[in-house]
Amino acid sequence: MSLSSSTIATLRRRLAAREISPRDIITDLAGTIETRNGTLGAYLTWDVDKALAEAEKADLSLPLGGIPIGIKDNINVTGQPCTCGSRMLSENYTAPYDAGAITRLRNAGAIPFGRLNMDEFAMGSSTENSALGVTRNPHDLDRIPGGSSGGSAAAVAGNLAVATLGSDTGGSIRQPAALCGCVGIKPTYGRISRFGLVAFASSLDQIGPITRTVEDAALLLNHLCGKDPRDSTSLDVPAPDFTSALGRDIKGLRIGLPKEYFISGIHAGVSASVQAAIKKLEGLGAIPVEISLPHTDVGVSTYYIIAPAEASANLARFDGVRYGHRSAGAGDLMEHYMMSREEGFGPEVKRRILLGTYVLSSGYYDAYYLKAQRARTLIRQDFEKAFEQVDVIVSPTSPTPAHRLGELKDNPLAAYLEDIFTIPVNLAGLPGISIPCGTAEEGGRQLPVGLQIIGKPLDEANILRVADAFEKA
Ligand code: GLN
C-alpha cells in the first residue's frame, strides 16, 4: 500500500518500527499530488521543500510525529497562502501566524502540508464557488466533491492526503465527507479553537478532521480540542482520550430516528443505504427509537438568515485597505471600497452579504434576524428534548449523492436545501459525524452515501463509538 493511501494509525506504527521515515511520507505524498492533482484539483498550493524540512526535524516521540495533514485554505498557517478560495485573498495575503488548531497539531508533531480548495469563504456545498479552480469527486470525475471543504474530502478520497482539516458552518465537513466516502466530524461548538480560522459565521463555525477511518478522526481530535485564550468561545473543558471510545460495543444504546428526517424527496439509493445501516446498528444491539424534531422545517431558512448576517459583518474587513484585493482603478475612498469588493468577491459571497445586510438593517432586524434567533432556540430545544430519550441521533448526511458539476450552479435555493440534515446540528452547537454507509446508484455509477450520527453537547465519544462499531461491522 502506498504511504499516501495509509491511515494515520498505520503510519504511526510503521514510523515507530523505523520501517519508514517522515521524509518518505512527504516524498510519496508529493509524488501522488504531482501526478493526480491536475485532474482532481484538491490542492490549490503545496510546498514540498518546506514540508521536507519539517519532516527532517519531526519528533517521532510525539503522538502525531511526522504525520502530514492537509489544510483547508481558510485556516492560517504561518508563511503560507490562505486564500479562502477567493480572489480577495489570492493575490497578496500570506498568513502571519498559525491558527490555534495548527499550533495544537504542531505541538503533537504533525506537519501541515498543502492548501485545499474550498467554496469561496466556505459559502457553498459543491466547491464550485471557489474562484480558484474546479475540484472533482474522485469517485466520478464529472461530479462535485461536495463542499465547502471539497478539497479536504477529495484529497483524502483520492489518496492525495492521509488526513485533512476542514471547517463546518452548516455541514461543510460532513457533507463533502459523505459525498466522497470519507469520515468527517464536526465537534461541539467551542471544542476546537477558531482562532486563525477565517470567520464565516462565528456562532456556527467549527474546525474538524476528515479522515479514512473513525480511529484517525479520534486520534486527531485528541490533539485538536481544548481551550485557547485567543478564542473566547473555546470551551475550557479537558478533552478525553477519544480513542478509548473505540472498540466498545453499542448494546442497549438508544438511537433516535427523527421522523422529520426520513421524508420523501430523499434519493432512493441514499434512503436504502441509510435504512440498511440502521438495521446493522440494530443488529449490533442498539435500540432504535422514533423521535421528533418538530422545527426541522425552519432549519434551513433560520440558517440562511443567521449565517449571512454574521458573514456580512465578518467580511466587512475585506476592503482592500488592510486585507484583500485592492482595485487599481479607484479614484476616491468610497470608490476604492466599492470597486475592491466588487472585483474581489464572487457572486455567492455577494449574495450572502446582501442577504445579511438586509436582515440586519433597521426595520427588518426584528422581522428576520431576531425571529431567526428565536427559531434557533426552538431548534436547540428540540434536540434537548430528544436527547432525554436517546443517546445519539442518526440520519442521512445529505439527501442526495454527489451532483454533476454545474447541475445546481444556477439554482442556489436548491443547493441551500441540500443542507437540511446538517444545518440544525450547527444551529444547536452539537457534535456530528458522517461515516460511509454504502452507495447509491446515479447515472450508472455507484456513489458514496454518508450516515450522520449526532451527539449530545461534548459527547463526541459516543458518536465515535457508534461510528467505530458500524465501521468495524
Ligand atoms: N452549504 C452551507 C452554506 O453554503 C454550509 C457551508 C459551511 O458549512 N461552511 O452556507
Q: Is 22 in the pocket of ligand 1 (CB under 6 A)?
A: no
Distance from residue 171's CA to the centre of ligand 1 (Å): 6
- Cell numbers standing for residue 32: 501522488
Nearest CA to ligand 1 atom 10: 123
Q: What gap in Å lies between CA 360 and CA 310, rounded to an integer? A: 9
Q: Is residue 148 lining ligand 1, measured as CB closer than 6 Å?
A: yes
CA distances from 283 to 255, 270, 438 (A): 12, 20, 17
CA distance 349 to 414: 17
Cβ of residue 324 lying under 6 Å from some atom of ligand 1: no
Closest residue by Cα to atom 5, ligand 1, is 170
Task: Quote the pTM value.
Answer: 0.98
> How many Å lie between the centroid of ligand 1 and the Cα of residue 289?
29
pLDDT at 60: 97
pLDDT value of residue 415: 87
Q: What would you report as the CA-atom Rg of the chain, rounded to the nearest whole angstrom?
A: 21
Selected from 3.90.1300.10, 3.40.50.970, 3.90.950.10, 3.30.70.1400, the CATH number assigned to the domain covering 1-473 reads 3.90.1300.10
Closest CA to 358 of 343, 373, 346, 369: 369
pLDDT (tens digit per residue) in 429-455: 999 999 999 999 999 999 999 999 999
C-beta of 101 in contact with ligand 1 (< 6 A): no
244 has catalytic annotation: no
| pLDDT value of residue 1 | 57
Q: How far apart are CA 355 and CA 113, in angstroms?
A: 35
472 classed as catalytic? no
- Cα separation, 47 vs 112, in Å, equals 10
Q: Is the CB of 124 under 6 A from ligand 1?
A: yes
Q: Exposed, middle or buried, 16 (CB in 10 Å: 0-12/13-18/19+)?
A: exposed
Domain map of the chain by residue range? 1-473
User: Among the options 167, 172, 273, 395, which is catalytic?
Assistant: 172
Residue type at 186? Answer: K
Identify the residue whose cell numbers are 431576531. Answer: 370
- Relative to the CA of 426, which ligand 1 atom is closest? 8
Task: Return phi, psi of residue 150, to 5°.
Answer: -65, -40
Q: Is 122 in the pocket of ligand 1 (CB under 6 A)?
A: yes
Low-confidence ranges of the chain (pLDDT < 50): none
**Measured distance CA(34)–CA(45) in Å, rounded:** 11
Residue 355 · residue 304 · CB < 8 Å = yes
CA of 229 to the centre of ligand 1 (A): 27
Any ligand 1 atom below 6 A from CB of 206:
no
Residue 120 Cβ contacting ligand 1 at under 6 Å: no
Per the CB < 8 A criterion, the answer to whether 12 and 108 are in contact is no
Q: What is the DSSP string of 131-154?
A: SS----BTTBTTB---SSSHHHHH
Cβ of 208 less than 6 Å from ligand 1: no
Grid coordinates given for 368: 428576520
- Ligand 1 centroid vs 26 CA: distance in angstroms? 31
Nearest ligand 1 atom, CA 352 = 10
Mutate to test the pocket of ligand 1, among 86, 117, 125 (most ligand atoms within 8 A of CB): 125
Distance 418 CA to ligand 1 centre (A): 10
Residue nearest to atom 4 of ligand 1 (CA): 124
pLDDT at 265: 84
C-alpha cell at 183: 469520515
Asked if residue 89 lies in contact with residue 82, where contact means CB atoms within 8 angstroms, the answer is yes
Helix H segments across 3-128?
8-16, 22-40, 48-56, 87-90, 100-107
Residue 310's pLDDT is 98
424 Rama class: left (phi>0) / alpha (psi -120 to 50) / beta: alpha
Residue 291: strand pairing partners: 258
Pocket test for ligand 1, best of 86, 121, 172 (most atoms within 8 A of CB): 172
Cα–Cα nearest to 419, from 434, 438, 441, 436 = 434
Q: Is 74 in the pocket of ligand 1 (CB under 6 A)?
A: no
